[in-house]
Amino acid sequence: MKSLFLKSITTIALFCFASSCNTTTDHYATMLIYGGTIYTVDSTSINVEAVATKGNKIIFAGSLKEAQSYKNKQTKLLDLKGKTMTPGLIEGHGHFMGLGYNELNLDLMQTTSYQAIVDAVAERVKTAQPGEWIIGRGWHQSKWDSMPTNMVHGFQTHHLLSEVSPNNPVYLKHASGHAGFANEKAMEVAGLINLALDGVKTYTIEGGEVLVDAAGQPTGVFNERAQTLITKHIPEKTPESDVKAFQLAVKACHKNGITSFHDAGIPKETIALYEKMKATNQMKTRIYGMLTGWDKDLLNTWYKKGIMIDQDHLFTIRSVKLNCDGALGSRGAWLLEPYTDRPDHFGHETLPMEFVKQTALNGLEYGFQVCAHAIGDRANREILDRYELAFNKRPESAKDHRFRIEHAQHLHPEDIPRFAALKVIPAMQAVHMSSDRPWAIDRLGEKRIKEGAYMWQDLLQSGVPIVNGTDVPVEPINPIASFYASVSRKTLKGLPEGGYEPEQKMTRQQALKSYTLDAAFGAFEEHIKGSITVGKLADFTIYNQDLMTVEENDILNTKIVMTIFDGEIVYTTK
């Protein structure tokens, strides 16, 4: 009897303890969010009325009535006032320092003609010191509304640019980053002028191409790895400019609702910078870093060191980025069949496939995810082949490899099901379709476009997730543009009616998931982010309207009005 009584008392005590948790300090929320539409991207509950956070973690997601028990006098109340909230958006493939430096240098993304580039440089020359390099990025000849008279292989020549900047070397990267445009002064600094006339052959470079005119002189356009002929002469960035670029990139992320960023290819100097930023409490965006595959010494160092999973979830390194071909715009993408608008050209293999195979084997051995850039159908096939060889050789290590192909932009139809079969994740930037599709058909022709370009729905239906993003600074970091492209298959001007290859559209649920939970999965981080789920990080993006239900033609009017990172409001519109 006494034993039964003690058991009863113990049971009651435990029950009271569990119930009284609602009155302890540990229970109360730091912030209570309510009053709007909240999409969780959690399969157990699509929508909730309220979310409670404590510090940087979610402690409740459910009804507003239940949420009231998490409130005390110290709880910050955030009334959405009818606005919409989702998990914090994840940029699934971008270049963080490129984003920052694009803010510091000439931003040519909005230029619509060669003359507009010339005018922008001419304006910068007015304030530049003699001999100072003028650097920019963002031009794309296939997006111009008028073309210059003199062109070579579809590109402009340097002469107009050289006229407005005779004393300042100029180097302007293509929007894709896979080509660059130099003026005469820059080529003079690099020692490239008149070499062809002197009979010196210096314009051949493995994995790249220097475009030359009929006289054999460089036109100013340097494709793929040939860019190094110019870039090695550009003065090094300074520690001060690096910090400034980093801070500008963080600010741009917050403004665009980005709380996490997959940084596609970082060298040792950038790793050191990020570690410094974290140590000084300036890491206000979660960075998933991919080691640049260009530096074999860096890779070998990290293979010995092992992956770095940050317990603070701010800066993690567990992947390697390989650049295996070029871009479609510069005709550097590596194709199985020649370019429709340049029948003698197949693009470029910018990294030996043997190295891809060895990196895949090393990745499996040392626990590193491999993320290989591939845009053309041959590059995609060759990489899938090398991945498959590695998986077959080390099957035990390949059980949860999550190897990725970055872009996977143009696939041979036979290779589409191989992604699911090999469990390879395509990281695809939907906004590229919006920007590139109008002219990509000139590069590939109608058959290849319709059967294998931007094959989102086919890939999703085959059973693989898609990691979305923008490839910033190739495209602006704006996630709304990429979301719109995902669900409409239209240009940002709303063309064509019905969208390009509409059967490949994502649903809005798929598009949101590709920017949240699927992107988190692509970084082994679905257990800590990507959905509004109890126990996950308190990262949220808030919009002025419901992008999941507004009319399609109104999606682009969606604005980010607030960003919450690590449980704190880091951006809000006035």
- Kindly state whether residue 155 falls inside one of the protein's structural domains: yes
Judge if 120 and 211 occupy the same domain. Answer: yes
Residue pair 183/158 in contact by the 8 Å Cβ criterion: yes
Residue pair 508/518 in contact by the 8 Å Cβ criterion: no
Which of 231, 254, 283 represents a domain boundary (last residue)? 231
Range of the domain at 31: 1-82+532-574
Residue found by looking up tokens 């090695």 in the block: 232
Judge if 227 and 120 occupy the same domain. Answer: yes
Judge if 153 and 42 occupy the same domain. Answer: no
Distance CA 266, CA 274 (A): 10
Which of 201, 231, 261 represents a domain boundary (last residue)? 231
Distance CA 6, CA 8 (A): 5
3-state SS string over 62-93? ECHHHHHHHCCCCCEEEECCCCEEEECEEEEE
410 secondary structure, DSSP code: B
Judge if 187 and 107 occupy the same domain. Answer: yes
What's 23's domain CATH number?
2.30.40.10
List the pLDDT tens digit at each of the 574 positions of the chain.
Answer: 434 334 444 443 333 333 333 434 578 999 999 999 999 999 877 999 999 999 999 999 999 999 999 999 999 999 999 999 999 999 999 999 999 998 888 989 889 999 999 999 999 999 888 899 999 998 988 889 888 988 998 899 999 999 999 999 999 999 888 899 999 999 999 988 765 554 545 577 788 889 998 888 899 999 988 999 999 999 988 999 999 999 999 999 999 999 999 999 999 999 999 999 999 999 999 999 999 999 999 999 999 999 999 999 999 999 999 999 999 988 999 999 999 999 999 999 999 999 999 999 999 999 999 999 999 999 999 999 999 999 999 999 999 999 999 999 999 999 999 999 999 999 999 999 999 999 999 999 999 999 999 999 999 999 999 999 999 999 999 999 999 999 999 999 999 999 999 999 999 999 999 999 999 999 999 999 999 999 999 999 999 999 999 999 999 999 999 999 999 999 999 7
- Kindly state whether residue 467 falls inside one of the protein's structural domains: no
- Kindly state whether residue 90 falls inside one of the protein's structural domains: no
Judge if 144 and 201 occupy the same domain. Answer: yes
Judge if 158 and 220 occupy the same domain. Answer: yes
Judge if 61 and 122 occupy the same domain. Answer: no
- Kindly state whether residue 310 falls inside one of the protein's structural domains: no
pLDDT of residue 142: 84
pLDDT of residue 202: 56
pLDDT of residue 574: 73
- Kindly state whether residue 224 falls inside one of the protein's structural domains: yes
Q: Which of 565, 562, 569 is nearest to 36 (CA)?
A: 562
Judge if 131 and 69 occupy the same domain. Answer: no
- Kindly state whether residue 221 falls inside one of the protein's structural domains: yes
- Kindly state whether residue 215 falls inside one of the protein's structural domains: yes
- Kindly state whether residue 446 falls inside one of the protein's structural domains: no
Distance CA 538, CA 354 (A): 43
pLDDT of residue 195: 58
Q: How many domains does the chain have?
A: 2
The pTM is what? 0.84
Which residues make beta-bridge pairs with 52? 32, 60
453 secondary structure, DSSP code: B
Which of 207, 231, 255 represents a domain boundary (last residue)? 231
Judge if 197 and 112 occupy the same domain. Answer: yes
